[in-house]
A and B are shown apart, each in its own frame.
Chain A
Amino acid sequence: MDAVVIAPLVIDGVERRFGRLAVLRDIHLRVDSGEVIGLLGANGSGKTTLLSICAGLLPASGGRCCFGARGEGELDVAGRRRLAFVAHSTQLYPRLDAEENLRLYASLRATTAAPDKVEFAALLRRVGLGDAGRRPVGAFSRGMQQRLAIARALLGTPDVLLLDEPFTALDHGGQKLLIEILLAERDRGAAILLSSHDLEAVAECSDRAVLLADGRIVATTARSGSTRDDYAARIRSLGAGAGREAEAAV
Chain B
Amino acid sequence: MTGRARIPIASGLARREGLGFHSGGFAAAASPARSCYNRAVVPLLRQAWLLARNDLRQELRDLELVLTAAFFTVVVLVMFALAFAALPASAHVLAVPGMLWLGVAFAGALTLTRIFDREREADTLRALLTWPVDRVAIYFGKLLVSLSIVLGCGALLMPALALLFPAAQALVARPLESALLLLLGSLAYCAVGTLFAAGLATASGKNVLISVILYPLTSPALIFALVSTRALLEDHPQFPTYLGQLAAVDAVVVVLGAWLFEPVLLGGARKPAAGPSSRTRSRRGEAT
Footprint of B on A, CB under 8 Å? 12-13, 15, 26, 55-60, 62-64, 73-74, 77-78, 80-81, 83-85, 87, 89-96, 100, 104-113, 115-116, 118-119, 122-123, 125-128, 130, 152, 154-157, 173-174, 176-177, 180, 184, 187-188
Contact = CB atoms under 8 A, between A and B. Distances in A.
A96 B57 contact: yes
Interface stretch (B131-139, B153-161, B229-237, B244-252): B131-139
Highest count of chain A CB atoms <10 Å: which of B50, B51, B134: B50
Contacts of B18: 116
Interface stretch (B75-83, B107-115, B144-152, B266-274): B266-274
B43 interface: yes
B9 interface: yes
Interface of B is mostly: helix
B47 A108 contact: yes
A125 B50 contact: no
Interface size bracket, B side: 35 or more
Contacts of A60: 270
B15 A122 contact: yes
Contacts, number: 164
8 contacts: A62-B280, A64-B272, A87-B130, A92-B122, A108-B50, A130-B5, A157-B21, A173-B1
Contacts of B43: 111
Contact of B7 (A92, A122, A152): A122
A109 B131 contact: yes
B179 to A, nearest CB: 30
B140 to A, nearest CB: 13
Contacts of B47: 108
Contacts of A57: 126, 129-130, 266
Contacts of A111: 21, 23-26, 43
A231 B204 CA distance: 41
A118 B18 CA distance: 9
B49 to A, nearest CB: 10
